[in-house]
Structure 1
Amino acid sequence: MVETSNYQMAIDLLCCHLGLSEEEAMKQLGISCDESVQKHIVETQQAFVGLVSEM
């Protein structure tokens, strides 16, 4: 994960001026939070398990 403190001003501006949530602002900047990355990892692992069990 990228240090969000480096982008906090940009995040705040997007939230203030565009009315985005902090998560939406981070997504617009291409910054992912740990929860989002972890969710993607779990989904990928589940997909692989599904492929193996089908064989």
Structure 2
Amino acid sequence: MAETNDYQMAIDLLCCHLGLTEDEAKQQLGISTEQVLQKRVIETQAALMGLNSDK
């Protein structure tokens, strides 16, 4: 992700000084990984499908 490159220094600082993993550092900065984004898309689609089946 291009967004990750913009925040690489902050990610490195969180990893080194706080002992966070890269994914934890990204989460702290509000940067989502592709896997997290895909999971959210699937959850949203499932929720919308649930709304449609109630009708």
Which residue number in structure 2 is paired with residue 7 of structure 1?
7
- Runs (4+) of structure 1 moved beyond 4 Å? none
Q: Which runs of 5+ in 2 are unaligned?
A: none
Long gaps (5+) in structure 1: none
Count, aligned residues: 55
Query: Greater relative contact order: 1 or 2 (C-alpha under 8 angstroms, separation 6 or more)?
Result: 1
Query: What TM-score do the two structures reach when normalised by structure 1?
Result: 0.84
RMSD over aligned CA atoms reads 1.3
TM-score, length basis structure 2: 0.84
2:48 matched residue in structure 1: 48
Report percent identity of matched pairs.
62
Q: Which amino acid aligns with 1:36?
A: V
